[in-house]
Amino acid sequence: MPDRFFIYIYLYINYIMKLFITPNINNRICIRCNKSYKPTSGKQKVCINCRLPNEIRKLNYSKKWYKSDLDKHRLNLRISFNKYIKESRKEILSCLGGKCKKCGFNDYRALQLDHINGDGNKDRKLHMNSYKFYKHVKENISNFQILCANCNWIKRYENKEHGYKERIIRRKQKT
Ligand SMILES: [Zn+2]
Ligand SMILES: [Zn+2]
């Protein structure tokens, strides 16, 4: 069973990573197989080898649970994802002042995040989905400003940020 095999490897790697992260805890003796082992947290009583079957059962169970009502669970995931996106957008907008930097327009429905140096296109290609994009914005908030849709398009037009330049360069490289 390849599935089981990958789960084993995954859990083992997890265990080794945890050993690196956690501070040294003294070796303990497993209550099932009576062998000495290195615990990754203070609560463990059973060694990794004795714990694996149980972990696999848990993983399989959650997989089954997810598949038992696929539509419902997918919908729930999407709802919480959209909620996260909405909240991070609000958070970022209010963090950056909540209004257009050029004209002061403040209806959040038409406010857009603008990359100050005009690297927006490059960024969007690197961070394909909106989750990663917002995370990136949060980490590099000083690189961004708020512009309303009008000011943003005007800025793009004036600086030729709308990908027109790149397309021409690419076309020249092809021929
Ligand atoms: Zn054991
Ligand atoms: Zn504006």
What would the DSSP string read from start to end of 108-150? GGGEEEEETTS-HHHHHHHS-SHHHHHHHHHHTGGGEEEEEHH
Same domain, 114 and 168: yes
Same domain, 61 and 120: no
Report the alpha-carbon distance of residue 12 to residue 41 in Å, rounded: 15
Same domain, 77 and 118: yes
Q: What are phi and psi of 161, to 5 degrees?
A: -90, 0
Q: Mean pLDDT, 10 residues at a time, over the chain (175 residues)?
A: 73 82 79 87 84 84 87 91 91 91 90 80 65 84 92 85 62 68
pLDDT of residue 150: 94
pLDDT of residue 99: 92
Domain of 56, in residue numbers: 2-68
Report the alpha-carbon distance of residue 41 to residue 126 in Å, rounded: 37
pLDDT of residue 148: 94
pLDDT of residue 92: 92
Distance between Cα 21 and ligand 1 center (Å): 22
pLDDT of residue 171: 72
Same domain, 77 and 112: yes
pTM of the model: 0.54
Distance between Cα 92 and ligand 2 center (Å): 17
Ligand 2 (single-atom ion) residues, CB below 5 Å: 100, 102-103, 105, 148, 151
Same domain, 62 and 75: no
Q: Using only C-alpha atoms, what is the Rg of the chain?
A: 25
Total tally of structural domains belonging to the chain: 2
| Cα–Cα distance list, 104 to 59, 101, 116 (Å) | 51, 6, 17
Same domain, 46 and 76: no
Same domain, 88 and 140: yes
pLDDT of residue 96: 92
Run of H or E residues at 38? none
Same domain, 51 and 105: no
